[in-house]
Chains A and B, each alone.
Chain A
Amino acid sequence: MDEILLIETVERYLKGEMTGHEKTFFEEIRKKDPAVDQMVVEHTFLYNELEKQANIKAYKHSLYEVENKLTEEGIINKSQLKGKAKVIFLWKKYKRNIAVAASIAGLVSIVTTALIGTYNTKVGNKDITVLYAKMKDTDKKVAELKDSLNQRSKRNPNPDYRATGFLIDGKGFIVTNAHVVNRMKTIYVENNKGEYFSALTIYTDPNTDLAVLKINDTAYKTVYNLPYSINKTNSDLGEQIFTMGYPRNEIVYGEGYVSAKSGNEGDSTAYQVSVSVNPGNSGGPVLNKNGEIIGIITSKNSIADGVVFAAKSKNIYKILEAAKKSGDTTNIKLPNNTGLKGLDRVQQVKKMEDFVFMVVGN
């Protein structure tokens, strides 16, 4: 018997799908032919292992969901702010040294900035392409058609640019790239169901190329429990990553790895990642295998292949802190969930895609 046919038979046998007659016949063969018997034994083993794998994955998934629920109720502690007392102690102890060090550092940075300023004609490095997309006529038509089908949504007349953004707070705060919103006078965001909402830029930071939008549309309903968290620490070289974005009028998935810990020309606020992206991917989230956001796609090198830059996610915290210091009272709560941990990729993407938006405008 050829192997595939045999495997199929064995599987039916194991699942109990054989008729009584067939079963007796098969058991006959099994007795007579040790090779077939061996095969049945091996396959049973493999089948059981797969079954165990399936069960334990489903079980782990339940564990994560229960954990999330209880974390929200406060029964499970989030680990944060540990060792605060120690930091204060160290601060007191080393206050003087720090003051001296800081003033030297300050001086050095002023001098270097001045030097760099004179030698460098900033941004616009011609080899770097920022990844917003100009809308083609066909795209616009498709969008219009989609819109006439979807009466509920409001329509932005004629978007010229398209990029990506993702929710950082279910109240309607979205992170995208500064270079994206700088080009737009009116901004709309569209979710994967094709609903449009108008949005306003509330912060931009040209240094890290990040921007925060707020959906100011009455049709938008607050969503709860964003399933991901935003990483504060640096990711390691070689870490596996994936991203989602709108290089087309439809959400597109891509995967790759962290290829360097700094961005263009040693920019320490960004990573170099290797993942295939195209215009329109700008502002898309970069996630690690646990579903934590580690960066935001910003640009790619137009000459070298596979050289893509992503702003580090901790910059989001910095922007919000800076805004708070300057007296801003918008209370953005960054998500801190591990709902994607342990899921396989397809499930992660499914859970994630509701929170990744297309950012369009003109």
Chain B
Amino acid sequence: MSNTDQDKHLLEGLALNNRKIIEAIYRDNYPMVQALILNNSGNGDEARDIFQEAMIVVYEKAVSGNFELHCQLKTYIYSVCRRLWLKRLQQLQRYGSLIENVEETITVDEDLELHEKHNDDFQLMEAAMSKIGEPCKSLLDAYYIQKKNMQEIAVDFGYTNADNAKTQKYKCLVRLKKLFFAQYKNGQ
């Protein structure tokens, strides 16, 4: 496998939430990122957070399907982490230039903007979910997020049958929809 084929394989695995591939990417890239952050006034926890966020950026890209590799995955991850860390340092007002080994980096600003947009959407949904109240929240979570089937849900939530649970679920969904779109429109 050539280098890019290898990367492509990794990204496809990532999009499918393949544990082995996630682990492989961690093993290959984590030490480099950790060194960057530890050498630049960060600690282990911060390195972990930054790398995690970068992994989500890569995932979003992999899922969107238009991941054009202009560079190696390694370079991409490093660039994203570097950018995220600089931003964090700025927020924490720990100024100063980065001390780092000379690594190739690329510009990732556009991708990070997109990532922030995704993050906002994600939070809108979380907020809407937290506002609908129980049992709606748990019910929708069980069905749409945890992907349980209606039979299981009826038993877990104590509905007499799956049809009752289903009706309740749809009622909840109507509420979620109203809340979500109200916020979504405000946010635009």
Inside 8 A of A66's CB, which chain B residues have their CB? 19, 22-23, 26
Complexed CA–CA distance, A80 and B126 (Å)? 32
Say whether A62 contacts B43, CB under 8 Å: no
B38 contacts A by Cβ under 8 Å:
yes
A82 contacts B by Cβ under 8 Å:
yes
Contact A75-B147, Cβ < 8 Å, known A4-B174, A46-B180: no
Stretch at the interface among B47-55, B76-84, B87-95, B97-105: B47-55
Partner among A42, A43, A53, A58 whose Cβ is within 8 Å of the Cβ of B17: A58
Summarize B's interface: helix, strand, loop or mixed.
helix
Stretch at the interface among B2-10, B65-73, B165-173: B165-173
B59 contacts A by Cβ under 8 Å:
yes
Say whether B167 contacts A50, CB under 8 Å: no
Interface string of B134-145 (1 = CB under 8 A from A): 000010110011
Interface string of A1-16 (1 = CB under 8 A from B): 0011001100000000
Complexed CA–CA distance, A4 and B168 (Å)? 10
Say whether B145 contacts A57, CB under 8 Å: yes
B153 contacts A by Cβ under 8 Å:
no
Partner among B17, B121, B141 whose Cβ is within 8 Å of the Cβ of A55: B17
CB distance from B144 to the nearest CB of A (A): 4
CB distance from B44 to the nearest CB of A (A): 3
Complexed CA–CA distance, A287 and B126 (Å)? 21
Partner among B23, B118, B125 whose Cβ is within 8 Å of the Cβ of A69: B23
Contact A79-B43, Cβ < 8 Å, known A42-B177, A69-B23, A344-B141: yes
Task: Please provide the chain A residues from 49 to 73 with a CB less than 8 Å away from any CB of chain B in the complex.
Answer: 49-60, 62-63, 65-67, 69-70
B182 contacts A by Cβ under 8 Å:
no
Contact A42-B31, Cβ < 8 Å, known A67-B48, A77-B47: no
Contact A63-B31, Cβ < 8 Å, known A49-B125, A56-B122, A79-B45: no
Say whether B170 contacts A4, CB under 8 Å: yes
Instruction: Tell me which of A4, A55, A66, A78 has the highest count of chain B C-beta atoms within 10 A of its own C-beta.
Output: A66
Task: Please provide the chain B residues from 11 to 37 with a CB less than 8 Å away from any CB of chain A in the complex.
Answer: 17, 19, 22-23, 26-27, 30-31, 34
> Which chain A residue shows the least CB distance to B138?
A346
Say whether A7 contacts B173, CB under 8 Å: yes
B56 contacts A by Cβ under 8 Å:
yes
CB distance from A281 to the nearest CB of B (A): 22
Instruction: Tell me which of A8, A60, A69, A79 has the highest count of chain B C-beta atoms within 10 A of its own C-beta.
Output: A79
Inside 8 A of A59's CB, which chain B residues have their CB? 17, 56, 59
Say whether A42 contacts B30, CB under 8 Å: no
B132 contacts A by Cβ under 8 Å:
no
A219 contacts B by Cβ under 8 Å:
no
Inside 8 A of A104's CB, which chain B residues have their CB? none
Task: Please provide the chain A residues from 20 to 59 with a CB less than 8 Å away from any CB of chain B in the complex.
Answer: 42-43, 46, 49-59
B159 contacts A by Cβ under 8 Å:
no
Complexed CA–CA distance, A78 and B34 (Å)? 11
Inside 8 A of A79's CB, which chain B residues have their CB? 43-46
Inside 8 A of A70's CB, which chain B residues have their CB? 23, 26-27, 30
Inside 8 A of A65's CB, which chain B residues have their CB? 19
Partner among B30, B118, B166 whose Cβ is within 8 Å of the Cβ of A75: B30
> Which chain B residue shows the least CB distance to A70?
B26
Say whether A46 contacts B176, CB under 8 Å: yes
Say whether B122 contacts A63, CB under 8 Å: no
Inside 8 A of A78's CB, which chain B residues have their CB? 44
Inside 8 A of B147's CB, which chain A residues have their CB? 54
Complexed CA–CA distance, A274 and B180 (Å)? 30
Say whether B122 contacts A53, CB under 8 Å: yes
Interface residues of chain A, those whose CB is within 8 Å of chain B, are: 3-4, 7-8, 42-43, 46, 49-60, 62-63, 65-67, 69-70, 75-80, 82, 344, 346
Interface residues of chain B, those whose CB is within 8 Å of chain A, are: 17, 19, 22-23, 26-27, 30-31, 34, 38, 43-48, 52, 55-56, 59, 63, 118, 121-122, 125-126, 138, 140-141, 144-147, 166-167, 170-171, 173-174, 176-177, 180-181
Known pairs A52-B122, A58-B17, A63-B55; list 5 more (Cβ under 8 Å).
Answer: A50-B125, A55-B17, A56-B59, A69-B23, A70-B27
23 CB-based A-B contacts, threshold 8 Å: A4-B170, A4-B171, A7-B170, A42-B181, A49-B125, A50-B125, A51-B144, A52-B122, A53-B125, A54-B144, A55-B17, A56-B59, A59-B17, A60-B56, A62-B22, A63-B55, A63-B56, A66-B19, A66-B22, A79-B43, A79-B44, A82-B43, A344-B141
